[in-house]
Homo-oligomer: A and B are copies of this chain.
Amino acid sequence: MFNIEKIRADFPALKQLINGQPLVYLDSAATTQKPLSVISATEQFYARNNANVHRGRHTLSEQATHAYEQARQTVANYFNINANELVWTKGATEAINLVANGLTEQLDNDSTIIISALEHHANIVPWQQLAKRTGAKLLALPLQKNGCFDVQACVEFISQHKPSVLAITHASNALGNITDLDPILHAAKRHDAITLVDGAQAALHLQPNLPQLGCDFYVFSAHKMLGPTGLGGLYGRYNRLNSLAVYQTGGEMIETVTLAKTIFRQAPAKFEAGTPNIAAVIAFAAAIDYLTSLNKTNVYTHEQIIFNYAAEKLQAIAGITVYSNLENNIGTLCFNYKDEHPFDIATLLDGYGIAVRSGHHCAQPLMQHLGINGSVRASFAFYNNHSDVDLFIAALQNCLELLD
């Protein structure tokens, strides 16, 4: 059974008043709240086991190393991958940069890179830079007017342009729309494209089985998955991963150094220069343990119930335009009210203790595609409940009255 009140009690930040009213946190797409087990794993590490990893013969260092490498296994299990196919980065953004940088030598001005206008800037700009460095062409997949992929057209587009690289999001951070990846990745594979899936938004909600998904690379951020800030991950099919050029250089990632020449280690080590974010890695394993202790189906079902409940109530308000696709969605509502500026709506909602986001959501090309400057975004996670929705809708109605 899914006991939502018991779960909410695990998240201390949810139990607070904002402007004198109970916090309604609808900004999980920006960053999720953290369960107690994550907070205390961090605390325990610093208060007891704190030491640097990999190079110490003393007990603290061995304990830290052990916990650190165990954590890699825990997270690898979550995605059903091998621990040596998982590289720690500082976030999804760095993970994409690592791949885009590491492919420089593998592309030239005959190559094509395909992305989409739906992407977060983190999955656009590194590819623009790669295209600039190599002379490769950068193209965007066809999107329908509403921001949904036209899957059939995408497949044809891929067959036509035969990309060397395809980078695409698993779920849109602005809209919450889940991408129908299967046919798109299949088409890319038929042309031997290297595929990267941006899982920053989806990794929490969809608990993806990566070998089954079949992409070459998958990136995520711990802070969007109940984990700490400053940590992300890159999954890469081992050979693809190991074939990337080194990214940052320094300690930990080298085998031997002389002033004349350096020999690097094999993946994942070769991509992990410098002291890692040890505390965050260990706390992230606690987050994944927490997540897997919950029944995956129950979590997803609850999220969808809350999302659908909110979507229905939101759509019933006259003057509201919803941009999200409500069919296949991780739980994000992207909307505007008449011609009102999203900034005003978000600011007024904050007066009621409702935390939503406004703006372009780091997805300016999508905003341009939708013909808007920005939107309000309410994003849900499994720790939201019906009361959150009720408070949100009631507050929103009050705000809209203020504006009218």
Binding site for B on A (CB under 8 A): 12-13, 16, 18-19, 23, 25, 27, 30-31, 33-34, 38-39, 42-43, 46-52, 55-61, 90-94, 96-97, 115, 117, 120-122, 124-126, 128-129, 138, 140, 221, 223, 228-231, 246, 248-252, 254, 256-259, 261-262, 273-280, 343, 346-347, 349-350, 353-359, 361-362, 364-365, 368
Contact = CB atoms under 8 A, between A and B. Distances in A.
A91 to B, nearest CB: 4
Nearest to A355: B58
Nearest to A246: B129
A228 B129 CA distance: 32
A357 B58 CA distance: 7
A51 B31 contact: yes
A55 B250 contact: no
A58 B257 contact: no
Contacts of A223: 52, 275
Contacts of A115: 259
A122 B221 CA distance: 25
15 contacts: A13-B47, A13-B48, A18-B60, A34-B46, A42-B42, A57-B346, A91-B274, A124-B262, A125-B254, A126-B250, A129-B249, A140-B259, A229-B276, A229-B280, A251-B362
B279 A97 contact: no
A250 B280 contact: no
Copies of this chain: 2
Contact of A93 (B57, B58, B140, B273): B273
B39 A55 contact: no
Nearest to A45: B229
A142 to B, nearest CB: 13
Contact of A125 (B43, B50, B140, B262): B262
B364 A121 contact: no
A108 to B, nearest CB: 17
Contacts of A13: 46-50, 60
Contacts of A248: 93-94, 97, 126
Nearest to A357: B56
A16 B225 CA distance: 33
A349 B58 contact: yes
A30 to B, nearest CB: 4
Contact of A230 (B16, B120, B230, B259): B230
A42 B41 CA distance: 11
Which of A16, A121, A347, A358 has its CB near the most chain B CB atoms (within 10 A)? A121
Which 5 pairs between the two chains have the least Cβ-Cβ distance?
Answer: A230-B277, A93-B274, A122-B250, A93-B250, A125-B249
Contacts of A18: 58-60
